[in-house]
Amino acid sequence: MALATSKRRMQQVELPFEAQFKPGWVGYRYLRCDDGQWHLVLSISSNGAADTQCCANVVLDEHPTEDASQYPMCEDCTALQFPVKSKEGR
């Protein structure tokens, strides 16, 4: 049996990475927001508000890489992205 693979071209992203995350951006990336947490952001609206996996009412942080490791991941975003499979569902 053959596996189907997607043929997507890799694209080099210019530094700094933050420059690409501006109003109108659409994607699938964890970004730090104004509530001090990393949310899985799906798009950025014209006013800077982030459409997140967990539907939190947040705006992107203006300094996303400053002391980045000290901020927690959003528990709801990670639970939705990586759901724990129960043993009963086998």
pLDDT in tens, 1-40: 455 555 667 666 555 555 678 899 999 999 999 999 999 9
Whether 38 is in a domain gets the answer: yes
CB atoms within 10 A of CB 67: 8
Number of domains in the chain: 1
- 7 within some domain: no
Count of H helices and E strands in the chain? Answer: 1, 4
Residue 41 lies inside a defined structural domain of this protein: yes
Q: Report the Cα 80 to chain-centroid distance in Å.
A: 12
Beta bridge partners of 26: 43
Does residue 8 lie within any of the structural domains?
no
Chain position carrying tokens 């997140």: 52
Domain extent at residue 36: 22-63+70-78
Round to whole Å and give the CA distance between 32 and 68: 8
Q: Does the residue 4 lie in any domain?
A: no
How high is the mean pLDDT of the chain?
Answer: 80
| pTM for this prediction | 0.69
Residue 87 CA, chain-centre distance (Å), reads 29
